[in-house]
Amino acid sequence: AHLDRIAEVDGRVHAFLHVDTDGALAAAREVDSRRAAGAELGPLAGVPIAVKDVIATKGVPTTAGSKILEGWRPPYNATLVERLRAAGTVMLGKTNMDEFAMGSSTEYSAYGPTFNPWDLTRIPGGSGGGSAAALAAYEAPISIGTDTGGSIRQPGAVTGTVGAKPTYGGTSRYGLVAFSSSLDTPGPCARNVLDAALLHAAIAGHDPRDSTSIPAPVPDVVAAARLGASGDLTGVKIGLVREFSGEGAESGVMSAFTETVEALTKLGAEVVEVSCPHFQYALPAYYLIAPSECSSNLARFDGVRFGLRVGDDGNRSLEEVMSLTREAGFGPEVKRRIILGTFALSSGYYDAYYGQAQKVRTLITRDFTSAFEQVDVLVSPTTPFTAFELGARTADPYQMYLADLYTIPTNLYGGPAISVPCGLSDGLPVGFQVMAPTLADDRMYRIAAAVE
């Protein structure tokens, strides 16, 4: 039924870069035979899933939205793909995204944009716009995204779906095409909080193949989502970030957010204002740290090891082939970040830019730590604005970067955060963000389920 739905609507939505019909049918049959053989199957057995194209899938094209990886079929599976398989999910295909996960609208995909199912003239968010649009268009019931600065939560917010960024290190990065390794976090996307929690439980947990994976038990996020759905928040303390109050957010977004906060107080939560003075520096710090790490990570795309190779006519040097390949293979936003990152890391400027940004990162982490001494969770709108028209923010990169104003602090800190739908503004979905302390992913699901 989902493959039929994709055939029916994806010509208009373009959530998928690759639909793996044969693989999906084979995986579904495998689940059937496991069931027939009496195997004990989990709650996601047989459930179709869409996977962001930044995650390595054995034998199935993986482009990261870039021309430089066109035609690459990884010889191995990411850990999370192995776990999805073990859980019995059925992968439908790979979803569209901004090139190398850099962007907030999916317009920077080298394969053309994804369109928001709520209004096809608008963006579905990014970088994981395909994973969110696939849910909103009923092409898949659950999907996988990756969140470096907001790429799970912001698409969730603007498509009226749920997107959760787990604690950094709570989900494995093994087999993820790296953008910014100290920030990249794979996580679940779904149409409701309980489905997201079920998917979270299936993919999370220690992976010895990822050196930053946390060797700690995964909190019971499913039980927490069920507890939150019961609607009792007595004894829960919720913090409003003073620095996020109003400024920069559309009024329709702010009013949907404020109404939701009021609803939470009716469920018994106590709401207080908390100051996080360094959050205002999160965006500039992120746009030094993420490009710096990307300039290093993307050095591996050299025209030799993966995908595209340009100009290899037997007369050119390795360096010329590398340069022609990178010139043709990378899009403008990726080039901008490589240049920015290379500059920020260069010896004369390292302390002034990268070093300074790392210090700001520490100050932001301290803001979170002291906030969580006062409250259980912090809340904010997920994004300052609802889904915008295609083309509205591509001329000025800074306008695009603003989409992640409220999501980026969490990435710099490393804690979990989720976006859950909280109403409409001018007929378009608004997202409510819940941020929790590192490793308290269960707490985040509890509050999110109460919002829902």
Given the rule CB under 6 A, which of 2-10, 82-90, 142-150, 211-219 is the region that contacts ligand GLN?
Answer: 142-150
Tokens for 306? 């993966």
Stretch in the footprint of ligand GLN (CB under 6 A) among 141-149, 196-204, 239-247, 304-312: 141-149
For residues 102 and 190, which CB has a smaller minimum distance to ligand GLN in the complex?
102
Determine if 410 is a binding residue for ligand GLN (CB under 6 A): no
Among 19, 31, 69, 102, binds ligand GLN (CB under 6 A): 102
Pick between residue 290 and residue 308 the one whose CB is nearest to ligand GLN.
290
Near ligand GLN by CB under 6 A: residue from 65, 88, 150, 414: 150
Report yes or no: 40 and 81 within 8 Å, Cβ to Cβ. no
Beta-bridge mates of residue 171: 204
Judged by CB under 6 A, which of 147, 207, 376, 441 binds ligand GLN? Answer: 147
| Between 31 and 158, CB nearer to ligand GLN | 158
Among 48, 124, 149, 187, interactor with ligand GLN by CB under 6 A: 149
Enumerate residues 6+ apart whose C-beta is below 8 A from 103. 126, 127, 333, 400
Q: Per rule CB under 6 A, is residue 378 in the interface with ligand GLN? A: no
Which sign, positive or negative, has the C-alpha torsion 97, 102, 104, 110?
Answer: negative
Closer to ligand GLN by CB, 337 or 443: give it: 337
**Strand pairing class (142-147; 185-190):** antiparallel
The Cα 218–Cα 221 span in angstroms is 8
What the block records as the tokens of 59 is 């034998």
Hey, what are 155's tokens? 């698409």
Cβ-based nearer residue to ligand GLN, 55 or 194: 55
CA 140 – CA 91 distance, rounded (Å): 10
Query: Which of 34-42, 144-152, 246-254, 261-269 is the region at the interface with ligand GLN (rule: CB under 6 A)?
Result: 144-152
Cβ 241 to ligand GLN, closest distance in Å?
19
- What b-and-e string marks burial along 374-389, b requiring 16 or more CB atoms within 10 Å of the CB? ebbbbbbbbbbbbbbe
CB–CB of 293/260 below 8 Å? no
* Cβ atoms of 252 and 426 closer than 8 Å: yes
Q: According to the binding rule CB under 6 A, does residue 409 interact with ligand GLN?
A: no
- In the annotation, is 419 catalytic? no
Candidate segments 15-23, 148-156, 195-203, 311-319, binder of ligand GLN by CB under 6 A: 148-156
Complex with ligand GLN: residue 139 or 404, whichever CB lies closer = 404
- Options 151, 295, 380, 419, the catalytic residue: 151
Verify binding: residue 419, ligand GLN, rule CB under 6 A.
no
Residues 60-99 that bind ligand GLN (CB under 6 A): none
Q: Which CB atom, from 118 or from 286, has the smaller least distance to ligand GLN?
A: 286
For the CB of residue 263, give the shortest distance to ligand GLN in the complex, in Å: 29
Q: Which stretch binds ligand GLN (CB under 6 A): 42-50, 101-109, 268-276, 369-377?
A: 101-109
Residue 213 burial class via C-beta count within 10 angstroms: exposed 0-12, middle 13-18, buried 19 and up? buried
151 flagged as catalytic: yes
Q: Based on the shown chain and the rule CB under 6 A, indicate whether residue 148 belongs to the binding site for ligand GLN.
A: yes
Q: For residues 130 and 105, what is the distance between their CA atoms, to the nearest angstrom? A: 10
> 377-381 and 428-435 as β-strands: parallel, antiparallel, unpaired?
antiparallel
338 binding ligand GLN? (CB under 6 A): no
DSSP, collapsed to helix, strand or coil, labels residue 23 as helix
Specify which residues 432 forms β-bridges with.
381, 420
Q: Return the biggest CA–CA distance within the chain.
A: 73
Could you count the other beta carbons within 10 Å of the beta carbon of residue 428?
Answer: 21
- Window 296-315: contact mask with ligand GLN (x via CB under 6 A): --------------------
Q: Is the dihedral of CA 327, 152, 143, 129 positive or negative?
A: negative
Dihedral sign for Cα 257, 260, 261, 262, please.
positive
* H-helix or E-strand spanning residue 131: helix 129-136
Indicate which residue of 66, 127, 131, 213 is catalytic: 127
Residues 450/422, Cβ–Cβ less than 8 Å: no
In whole angstroms, the minimum distance from the beta carbon of 290 to ligand GLN comes to 5
Range 245-284, binding ligand GLN (CB under 6 A): none
Among 79, 95, 151, 171, binds ligand GLN (CB under 6 A): 151
Minimum CB separation from ligand GLN for residue 296, in Å?
Answer: 15
Binding status of residue 127 toward ligand GLN by CB under 6 A: yes
| Peptide bond before residue 323 is cis, with ω within 30 degrees of 0 | no
Task: Say whether residue 103 binds ligand GLN (CB under 6 A).
Answer: yes
C-alpha 407, offset from chain centre? 10
Question: Would you call 52 a catalytic residue per the annotation?
Answer: yes
Residues making contact with ligand GLN (CB under 6 A): 101-104, 127, 147-151, 179, 290, 404
Which positions are catalytic? 52, 127, 151
